[in-house]
Chain A
Amino acid sequence: MRRLPFEYAVRNLGRSPARLVLSIGGSALVVLLILVAGGFVAGMSRALRATGGEHNVLILGAGSEESVERSEIEASTPGVLAASVPGIRTRAGVAYVSPEVHVMLPVGVGVTETGGNRRQVMMRGVTPTAALVHASVTLTEGRWPTAGSDEMMVGRMVSTVMGVSAGAVAVGEKISFDKRMWTVVGTFSAPGTVVEAEVWLPLTDLKAATKRETDSCVVFTLEPYDEATGEGAEFADIAAFTKTRPDLELVAMTEREYYGKLALFFGPIKLVAWVTAGLIAIGGLFGGLNTMYAAFASRIRELGTLQALGYRRAAIVWSMIQEATLATAAGGLLACAVGVLLLDGLAVRFSMGAFGLAIDERVVGIGLMSGLALGVIGALPPAVKCLSPTIPLALKAV
């Protein structure tokens, strides 16, 4: 089959600059939307997946497996655990056992103790051992808060959650909580996790502020079990411990399992994101079809001439697909560039805090493929329609 030269498709694109801009712009918008949906889903999944430490185990109150915020365990539990379970990691004699309180509470910035605009922020009451078990957390500025001094440290994305500028929650700024002002003494990062959207303060301070005596959970890190030496522990050892202490009413989960279940909970939201993107993509496709119909319909006589010159319909369809795909691929590339440069890492709020859009290679791949698909699918029906008249009829077309 004799094919039309590639230059024919390329030069055709320039026949109507306005139409070309519309085609590129339209496909760029559609692809950008797909990138946003993909980045949203990937970002949320990655944040929840990355939040769990590889060897971390979470001890919760029995029946509260689905929400650490609802969980209550006796304050003595961390001590019992550390004494009873062999194989917990230690460093310089300090066990990797972190008793914690997790609670979502309203806090305000730049307001009085009680008034002003407040936002719900995840507060985590911790002891210094939290730094051992949460290896992804890095103090980026300032210092760790001191108990009894109304001090707290904030994650990198807390400003997004609170809807304020990063400077408003910088070290030295005041945050109102529990009818008094607290000083931000440190900021931390925990890349790619939801922890970055949390406010951390001393465990005793948070328990006093929330008038509770129990902890929410204990997070601890296991030393991986070594078959040869018999040292270390596995998750099953902790599960067995909780089973042999039913009076403590505890349940053990790996941190990854806990956040994995949370990710499942957010599954419908991810589905809605994809469906929305899909519907808008279909809308964009119809728009593209319209443009292509208009572009090809005005060239029926030219297409008839090409057939009269001996080019087969398949060759002409191929050239039309090249032409349409070039435009949409350019739009797709433009959208991917915008996505990678401007959208990647963009903070998005959700019920658990915030996460960054993840425009990773998979999402970019989906975007580029969508751009190409728009071109191919968008060109085929108009091409078939325009090639359906016989050559004599096509040559007489106005």
Chain B
Amino acid sequence: MTTVSDANYDVIVIGGGHNGLTAACVLARRGRRVLVLEKRDVLGGLCAGEEFHPGYRSPGLLHDTATLRPAAVDALRLQEHGLDLEARAPEWFVPQERGRGLVFSRDADTAAAEIEGFSPRDGARYRDYRRFMDKARRVSEPVLNEAPPEMDLDTVGLAGLARHALGLRRLGARDMMNLLRVPPMCVADFAREWFETELLCATLAAPAVEGTWCGPWSPGTAANLLIWECTARRGVKGGAAGLAHALERAARFYGVETRTGAEVARIRVENGVATGVELAGGEAIGAGAVVSSCDPRTTFLGLVAPGALTHAFEHRVAVYRTRGTSAKVHLALSGPLAFACRPDLRVERARTGEMLDFQERAFDAVKYGHFSERPILDVFVPTFARPELAPDGCHVVSILAHFAPYEVTGGWDDAKRERLGDAVVAELARYAPGIDEKIVAREVLTPADIEARYGTTGGHIHHGEHALDQLIARPTPETARYRTPIRNLYLCGSGSFPGGGVTCAPGLLAARAIARG
């Protein structure tokens, strides 16, 4: 039986992840009465930290918090609400089976000293690379920090484009041309143009392919590296869960109402206008606007009743690519994680995959419906910054493993999940022998598990593939600026510009667009 709640909200936000909470806070700060509905029992979405074994807590599904936008941190005064930022962009270690591995840093001096150990030429080139990226950042960062241009190229859109074009022109002809040629390239070619050290090339390629349906030899992956380089700043201490906590506190402070365990079954649409939502239990809640932080396929094909959207639009949403390729493994360790090639190094972040072809082979598997026998691992040990996540002297190792296809041949089952977990642990053990004996417990999440737990279609950690055709017109041309074909229904999740990751940018930009009307 449907019951209609008395409360009358200005805005209902569907989903209490980092973007949903960001949008809710921004709108509440501007005087709107906001309700956030989260189907899970915890807020934070892909940033939520959770106990995965008694006494051991994960730092959130997503690792890389360096692209968290300062504009979002400042707009919500998140540091006053407990957000603790690192001193600089995170470094990570790339171990080698033979060799001493590479500590990669965005600080030119720190990194150059490491790189010179492999190639003096590359050490010097790295300083040039950083200078190039600094210039690229000046042009690219403003573009990534505002809503994408209007597709119909009205005068407002043109003015914005002209401003960015002017910024590009100011780089000078040579740098402008050098920057323009980067996005369509494959990251392997781009890295090899700069450097002769294979390990360094692989190090740069890893963040450009993680979470994508691409290997380092896929065209367009250089754009992902460029975007990362142009937006990475300081990470969150201890990982994404710290951001989730700060957002939760900020939401309370700004008067946002939140309800967990509240799964939205339908967005109510009357005469082409969104008027509220209906929960799985039958309860109906009315609101002046509905803002969905769910991925676009869930929002339009799952939550909106058939008939409210045109077939042509539904088709565009249906072909939006959301094939997840990432798995998650949490390890509860009885002692620290130590890498054989540099046993004394305190490693908080590491990435495996020391050669481009190795990464490419890991990707080849998903094309044919298999997970990588030797996956590439993005490893994060949150217990250095947050020892309270594990018992005394114990550690948590959080691993995003690439690649594992959502649509694995034969479908996912318990046995396959454990084989995937074994492959991940075996790969880590190549570089950190003896880790097997320290494992107290492990949790393995396949893309199907990620979908089931978080509701992201295909288990895609970015709410849709990061590819050039899904970046600006994200998720579709008519919804790229957070509006939808249904009046008063908006998007604010990672399926909107500028895409996934722990940025809070879609939430911030969407809320600003909504507040403007």
| A and B found bound together | no
> Which residues of A are interface residues toward B (Cβ below 8 A)?
none
> Which residues of B are interface residues toward A (Cβ below 8 A)?
none
